[in-house]
Amino acid sequence: MAVTVVVVSGPIGAGKTTLAQGLARRFGARHLPSEGFLRKQGGSGSRRSSQELTLTLDRETGGRWLAEGVLTALHGQDLEASHRVSRAPRLLIVDAASSEAQLDGLRASPGLRVVHVHLEVPEPEQALRFAQQRSRARHEDTTRAPVDKPSCAAPQDDGQDRFEAAWAHPSERAVHALASLAELVVDTARVPPEAVLVRVASRLGLYGRTGERLVDLILPGPNGDVDTRPLTAQLAPHYDVLLRMGEPDPVPLREELEDAFARGHRVLIESAGMVASVCLAATGIAPGRLRRIVMVCRSEGPTFDWVGLREVASLNGPTDLALVLSGDLAATNWAARRFDQLTDAARHHLEELERVAGAPVSFLAPSARARHLIERRPW
């Protein structure tokens, strides 16, 4: 199975680390800062040291040093441990690549699916973000100083001069050319961080296929007082996620449902109300996800609410009916275990129900006390 490696490139202050941290937090990806690889190669951690060392390593290894660092991390035991708890396993975020040679080295590595994302930002905005980052760093250094020792004041240097020096370095200037090599280019001066995250996650397919119908809905029919729990209990083992609307338990977060859809998990919803659209809106699930609507009805013989059945069926468009026999029909069919064991009166009643509702009776409880529903077709 190929490992997806998202390689982020972009100039100073473009939001590379913000994107990487967002993918790690939201999708359980592994964030691999290139700065860590440079430290293992002898880098001091300063920006100028990193820039100089990057040029040296690119020249000596043909850009392979970044790919070698990623492959070493990939086969490390710490990464394997992170996969066991990850919601999106086998996803690595490399923050950041700064040359075409580094990208070529990653793309040439076996077992890696490389997706290159380039973030752009105008130079004035870069300078502003650079100054803000330095200000936050100085504040953090000050607050971390021991309270019993006088803290040293941060140097009052010109942030703009420092930005210009970093921006003018050859390794930094070369980054802009990487935009033409990327699968996705985003201007972060125009797009907020949360929108950048959505665009990149969609490019990676982390939300799953939007048209994949993975949701089945159970709802009560006319009068709304029928017990839907036996049908839910019988069907629940076929699903990965069960939602009971109206229960005290909170509805899963939209992100949790998106993660379930991305993994192809099936979802069963037991609705307390009789309107499918209201139930879907409450859960935040798109109508296009819906596969089946099973409407649960109770037969009352001559007193059955045919008008109510037609109205509820017209409103919801059920794909299946689940019928609970009661009254005389229950008394004469309580021992039935298959549809072909029903009396003629019961079969005629089912046929008329199907014509009025426009959906087949797929499940049948011979009586309200029946512990198991008869299935007409495999679910």
For the chain, domain boundaries: 3-204, 215-373
Under the banding of pLDDT at 50, 70 and 90, the label for residue 139 is low
Q: For 203-255, how does the pLDDT look when each residue is reduced to its tens digit (9 = 90+)?
A: 998 887 777 899 999 999 987 788 999 999 999 999 999 999 876 666 667 88
**pLDDT beyond 50 at 84:** no
The helix, strand and coil proportions of the chain, stated in percent and rounded to the nearest 5, come to: 50, 15, 35
CA torsion 107→110→111→113, rounded to 10°?
10
Q: Which of 110, 104, 22, 30 is nearest to 66 (CA)?
A: 104
What pLDDT is stored for residue 137 in this prediction?
A: 66
Same fold, 3-204 and 215-373: yes
pLDDT, tens digit (0-9, with 9 covering 90-100), for 90-104: 799 999 999 999 999
Tokens 């075409």 correspond to what residue? 100
Cβ contact 206:117 at 8 Å: no
Confidence tier at 319 by pLDDT (50, 70, 90): very high
pLDDT of residue 158: 42
pTM (2 decimals)? Answer: 0.66
What contacts 345, CB < 8 A, 6 or more positions away?
328, 329, 332
The residues near 218 (Cβ < 8 Å, ≥ 6 apart) are: 228, 231, 232, 235, 268, 269, 270, 271, 294, 296, 322
Tell me if 295 sits within 8 A of 321, measured CB to CB: yes
Tokens of 304: 């059955």
Task: Read off the pLDDT of residues 67-77 as tens digits, 9 standing for 90 and up.
Answer: 999 999 988 74
Multiple choice CATH, 215-373, 1.10.3470, 3.40.50, 2.30.29, 2.60.120: 3.40.50
Among 324, 322, 328, which residue's Cα sits nearest to residue 357? Answer: 322
Considering the domain 3-204 in this protein, what is its CATH number?
Answer: 3.40.50.300
